[in-house]
């Protein structure tokens, strides 16, 4: 299958499709890099996340331009949400006729964005391609697999992701570019004043988040995990995602018990600062596992598997699906620093923009074969 990019005087017209909180973080460095390169960048917000604390604060805090369109799809079942995005996005993409659509991560917005563009024969680039939890009950796993197979340019964050895509016969479309969340994290860390929490060793705390459907939607499981958190010897700051609050209410479960202090979700900068200052992070979020790793805070993941196995090196991250022995795990000392950077060098956004600017599809002669599969993202 051949594509030819409709380059307008060398300028690409790129539409980014985002909708959920972690996608705004990934959008932040890419938006900057696209604008610096002189290409045109349009932002299509699906409206999957709509509370100010889940959306607006990210655009404001990271100074991302306001979306060019908000599809306002809101919450719903997977079928409803995905279908609403598909229908509305198709119309938008037809009217804007971009050269490229960029989708991020593994949400319903990612899946719908990749499908809508692909069916319109618009080339699709998938940021964070190739991650696999190998747990097909996770909605995110289905979204990732379908988005990868529908996309034309697979932007892999790690060598493990490249290997996964190669096993699925997608090596030809795969590029190792590094992890764009390193770019975001580094941009924030460069302003120390914004992330320095006075780490007061005499008042240690654990930071916790819990929002995955497999943890929140099973009443027995949710109660078990909340009980484990509430019994920790040190205070637990639980940043409560609206899904967790809604499910706890439905299940008549009190979240503010024992040592748990329930707090609203935080903007990106404050979240980074809170992770940095914590004795440990306890989470089921993929992004936060990695941010803890980058910020050198020990992490405990309340899941049976992780799509970021690199975080398990030296036990920086430990899987603890049932919440057993949590007290011991959060009290463990920070492991030795790593000499390697499995998530790359923080130049991912620039690498992606360069790649999109020179991209020719599978079936044509690639303009720069050397960047394929190997790249230079990991050190
Ligand atoms: C979604 C993604 C998940 C990602 C997470 C980040 C899917 C399948 N899941 O999960 O991969 O890790 O975003 O946060 O796409 N709600 C609000 N206000 C909001 C948004 C949601 O109250 O602004 C509540 C609603 O009750 C909604 C529930 O949260 O039904 C779940 O929201 P949804 O977007 O379906 O999935 P997340 O759990 O946020």
What mean pLDDT is reported for the chain?
91
- The predicted structure's pLDDT at residue 63: 95
Locate the ligand 1 atom nearest the alpha carbon of residue 143 and give its number.
Answer: 8
Residue 200 has a pLDDT of 61
- Rounded to the nearest 10 degrees, the angle between the axes of helix 268-277 and helix 180-189 is 80
Of 190, 191, 159, nearest to 175 (Cα)? 159
Q: Give the per-residue pLDDT at 21.
A: 97
CB 301 within 8 A of CB 318: yes
**Residue 19 C-alpha to ligand 1 middle, in angstroms?**
10
Q: Active site residue: 49, 211, 241, 328, which one? A: 211
Confirm or reject: Cβ of 128 under 6 Å from ligand 1: no
Which ligand 1 atom is the nearest neighbour of the CA of 110? 15
- 107 Rama class: left (phi>0) / alpha (psi -120 to 50) / beta: beta
Q: Report whether residue 242 contacts ligand 1, using a CB cutoff of 6 Å.
A: yes
pTM recorded for the entire structure: 0.93
Distance 230 CA to ligand 1 centre (A): 24
Whether 293 and 311 have beta carbons less than 8 Å apart is answered as yes
- Given this model, what pLDDT does residue 4 score? 42
Q: Which of 22, 48, 131, 209 to mutate to test the pocket of ligand 1 (most atoms within 8 A of CB)?
A: 48
Compute the average pLDDT of residues 87-98. Answer: 98
Mutate to test the pocket of ligand 1, among 17, 26, 46, 49 (most ligand atoms within 8 A of CB): 49
At residue 246, the 3 state secondary structure works out as helix
- For 259-283, write each residue's pLDDT tens digit: 999 999 999 999 999 999 999 999 9
**How many CB atoms are located within 10 Å of the residue 266 CB?**
18
* Tens digits of residue pLDDT in 284-329: 999 999 999 999 999 999 999 999 999 999 999 999 999 999 999 9
Mean pLDDT value across residues 61-88? 98
Whether 241 is a known active-site residue: answer: no
pLDDT of 142-168, one tens digit each? 999 999 999 999 999 999 999 999 999
pLDDT-based confidence at residue 7 (cuts at 50, 70, 90): very low
* 266-270, 330-334, 362-366: least confidently modelled range: 362-366
**Ligand 1 geometric centre to CA of 378 (Å):** 31
Protein residue with its CA nearest to atom 12 in ligand 1: 285
Structure confidence at residue 340 as a pLDDT band (50, 70, 90): confident
pLDDT on residue 77:
97
Rounded to the nearest angstrom, the distance between the alpha carbon of 352 and the centre of ligand 1 is 27
Is 346 a pocket residue for ligand 1 (Cβ < 6 Å)? Answer: no
Cα–ligand 1 centroid distance for 165 (angstroms): 27
- Number of helical (H) and strand (E) elements in the chain, helices listed first: 15, 13
216-259: pLDDT as tens digits: 999 999 999 999 999 999 999 999 999 999 999 999 999 999 99
Q: Would the pLDDT of 197 be above 80?
A: no
Contacts of 376 (CB under 8 A, 6+ apart): none
What's the alpha-carbon Rg for the chain, to the nearest Å?
20
User: What is the tens place of the pLDDT at every residue in 96-123?
Assistant: 999 999 999 999 999 999 999 999 999 9
- Evaluated on CA atoms 17, 134, 178, 49, the torsion sign reads positive
Is the distance from the beta carbon of residue 290 to the nearest atom of ligand 1 less than 6 Å?
Answer: no
């Amino acid at each position: 299958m051949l594509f030819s990019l409709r380059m307008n005087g060398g300028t690409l017209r790129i539409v980014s499709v985002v909708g959920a909180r972690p996608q705004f973080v990934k959008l932040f460095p890419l938006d900057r890099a696209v604008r610096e390169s002189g290409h045109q960048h349009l932002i299509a917000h699906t409206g999957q996340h709509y509370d100010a604390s889940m959306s607006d604060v990210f655009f404001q805090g990271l100074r991302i331009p306001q979306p060019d369109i908000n599809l306002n799809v809101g919450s719903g079942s997977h079928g409803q949400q995905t279908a609403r995005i598909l229908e509305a996005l198709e119309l938008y993409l037809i009217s804007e006729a971009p050269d490229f659509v960029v989708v991020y991560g593994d949400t319903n917005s990612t899946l719908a964005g990749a499908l809508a563009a692909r069916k319109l024969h618009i080339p699709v680039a998938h940021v964070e391609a190739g991650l696999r939890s190998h747990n097909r009950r996770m909605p995110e796993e289905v979204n990732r697999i379908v988005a990868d197979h529908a996309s034309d340019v697979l932007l892999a964050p790690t060598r493990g992701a490249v290997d996964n895509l190669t096993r699925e016969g997608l090596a030809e479309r795969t590029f190792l570019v590094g992890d764009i969340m390193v770019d975001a994290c580094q941009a924030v860390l460069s302003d120390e004043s914004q992330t320095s929490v006075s780490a007061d060793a005499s008042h240690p705390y654990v930071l916790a988040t819990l929002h995955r459907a497999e943890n929140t939607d099973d009443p027995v499981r949710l109660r078990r995990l909340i009980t484990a958190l509430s019994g920790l010897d040190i205070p637990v700051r639980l940043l409560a995602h609206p899904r967790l609050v809604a499910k706890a209410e439905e299940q008549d479960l009190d979240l503010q018990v024992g040592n748990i202090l329930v707090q609203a979700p935080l903007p990106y900068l404050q979240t980074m600062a809170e992770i940095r200052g914590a004795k440990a992070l306890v989470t089921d979020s993929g992004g936060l596992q990695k941010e803890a790793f980058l910020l050198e805070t020990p992490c405990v993941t309340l899941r049976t598997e992780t799509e970021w196995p690199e975080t398990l090196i030296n036990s920086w991250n430990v899987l603890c699906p049932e919440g057993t022995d949590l007290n011991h795990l959060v009290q463990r000392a920070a492991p030795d620093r790593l000499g390697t950077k499995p998530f790359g060098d923080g130049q991912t956004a620039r690498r992606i923009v360069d790649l999109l600017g020179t991209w020719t599809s599978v079936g044509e002669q690639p303009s720069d074969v050397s960047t394929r599969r190997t790249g230079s993202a990991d050190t």
